[in-house]
Amino acid sequence: MTLDVHDRAARLADPVPVAVRLRPPESAGLAERFGPSDPSPGLDLLRNPRIARLVRNRKFQFLLILPNQIIFWTVIFVGLLGTAIPGLNFGTAITWYVWFCLVFVMMVVVGRAWCAMCPFGGFAEWVQRRTFWRRTQKTLGLGRKFPEPLARLGFVLPVVTFLLLTWIEEYFNIAGPGNPAATSFMVIGIVASALIFFLVFERRTFCRYICPLTSLIGSVGSIGSVAGFRTRDREICLSCKTKDCMRGGAEGYGCPWYTWPGSADSNLYCGLCSECYKSCPEGNVGLFLQKPLTSVVAPRRRRADVAWAIALLWGLVLYQQINATSAFASLDDWLNSQLHFPHYPDPVGYLGTIGLLALATAGAAWGIGALLARRDVEFARPGGFADKSSRFRAFFLPITYGLIPLVGADYFARQLPKFFQYSPRVVPAVGHMLSLSGVHSPLYNTRILTDPHIIAVQVAVMALGTLGALWATWRIASRELVPLSRSTLAARVTTLGLVSVCGVAAAVLYVVMQAAD
């Protein structure tokens, strides 16, 4: 049985994992360990009739998106027409002092909650569907499929756009915050890019493959307690003839994220739009809660694009910490003088440092694999050809997944100085927008925490992230790496040691940075 409409998207969403073939007599037991499986579905919120009625209502997602639409269009207009003082401009204050920090909180708690209420994709989708909430049969635009070679890059492609956007933000000092108009132009650029992609390609191609935040939200969001929309009974899903959850039906659209709820084993690509729930004629889709870190630990179909995305994201946040030190500032000045580049960040230093840090993570995984791999285990790609790269993947993928809580904690800790130092300015910024107050407001210079306390909170956040990563890595290593390793103790010690070193390094950098924002 195949999905003749979105089988290509389904294949790309769930690529075949690296095969691990073992020689008798151990092959049967270990092959079972590495077979596809699902985590426990957890608590189905949609068993509650009131929640079910709310989510089934087609106005539900519109009402989630609408408040953010109002805020972000306000950000655009106030940034262009309001005061040039960044701390008093509502656009810069809400965006850089509060919003970015809250998005990371939502990732850790709920997963892709931001995607369900995103004003960028929401606005473009309204235009594409030619309606705010009604089910329409004809959409606006060309409806093309995204090129498969690019789609196969998976999470790596949006990481590239995230790196580009971050470099632009650093170069123009947009998040400093600098000129409020720069923040407005950045938001306009994202909205325009989303709209173009929605009008050229089908469904939420932009959200899945291009959006700068999708890799970060998807990977860090796997820490969260919302598993997303999943199949209640897989047998019903397998015997379904219509596959309305993917094709769309009278009550709902096909999944905009190209994710079949019958094969979902994590919340990686569930945008929480609820279309599969509305479309399913069998009532076989639920919205499940899970224990934190379940989507990090439970999936056994590890994806190389996700692993490389995590390594690159880890490299980026470490770069942002390192570049706040005086030693790196001197190096960047030297590179600028040698390459005749006007000022920080030098693209060579920026991309080179991030690339080296990502490769260092990959090199550590390779070293662990080279040190621990058993000789009686044959690592092979699906085609059956044994090679060293397959051994590398067998260790690299689980190890990087285990780092997700640490990476998420690092990104969150990086946002805390702005939040604790400047978030009270949002109140006088609103007052200034309404001609009620300004720099004379007592909140304008109020700090929630002093620098030493901010550093303490950052270190505490890194400690929690490291503990979460240690727990996840222990679980993943016990199931996936110990069977491949010559020594159970060595497998656990080396992987947990890598996590500990990463966590300590990030925490020390926060102490060295002295609450730099």
Percentage of the chain modeled with pLDDT above 90 = 68
Predicted TM-score (pTM) of this structure? 0.89
Residue 165 sits at the vertex; the CA angle it makes with 445 and 302, to the nearest 5 degrees, is 110
For residue range 392-445, list pLDDT tens digits in order: 999 999 999 999 999 999 999 999 999 999 999 999 999 888 877 666 788 888
Write down the pLDDT at residue 387: 63
Burial of 496 (0-12, 13-18, 19+ CB in 10 A): middle
C-beta of residue 396 within 8 angstroms of C-beta of residue 365 = yes
For residue range 336-383, list pLDDT tens digits in order: 888 888 888 888 889 999 999 999 999 999 999 999 988 777 676 554
The SS3 call for residue 378 is strand
For 228, phi then psi, to 5°, come to 95, -170
Structure tokens, 302: 């590890």
Its sign, for the CA torsion 216, 217, 223, 228, is: negative
Question: Which residue's structure tokens are 């594409």?
Answer: 128
Structure tokens, 466: 């490291």
**Which secondary structure element, helix H or strand E, spans residue 21, and what is its range?**
strand 19-22
Report the amino acid identity of residue 480: E
Write down the pLDDT at residue 204: 95
C-beta of residue 260 within 8 angstroms of C-beta of residue 228 = no
CA distance linking residue 473 with residue 74, whole number of Å: 43
**Which secondary structure element, helix H or strand E, spans residue 287, and what is its range?**
strand 285-289
Listed in order, strand segments (DSSP E) in 149-234 are 226-231
From residue 116, give the alpha-carbon distance in Å to each of 91, 178, 348.
22, 29, 36
Residue 209: pLDDT above 80?
A: yes
CA distance linking residue 264 with residue 74, whole number of Å: 37
Structure tokens, 391: 């051994």
Which residue, among 194, 217, 67, 90, has the nearest Cα to 141 in the 3D structure?
A: 194
pLDDT band (50, 70, 90) for residue 40: low
For residue range 64-94, list pLDDT tens digits in order: 999 999 999 999 999 999 999 998 999 999 9
* Mean pLDDT of all residues in 494-512: 96
Report the amino acid identity of residue 502: C
C-beta of residue 413 within 8 angstroms of C-beta of residue 458 = yes
Task: Determine if the peptide bond prior to 15 is cis (ω within 30°).
Answer: no
For 49, phi then psi, to 5°, come to -60, -35
Average pLDDT, the chain: 87
What letter does residue 95 receive in the DSSP assignment?
Answer: I
* Mean pLDDT of all residues in 4-20: 37
User: What is the dihedral angle through the alpha carbons of 279, 285, 288, 293, rounded to the nearest 10 degrees?
Assistant: -90
Task: Determine if the peptide bond prior to 177 is cis (ω within 30°).
Answer: yes
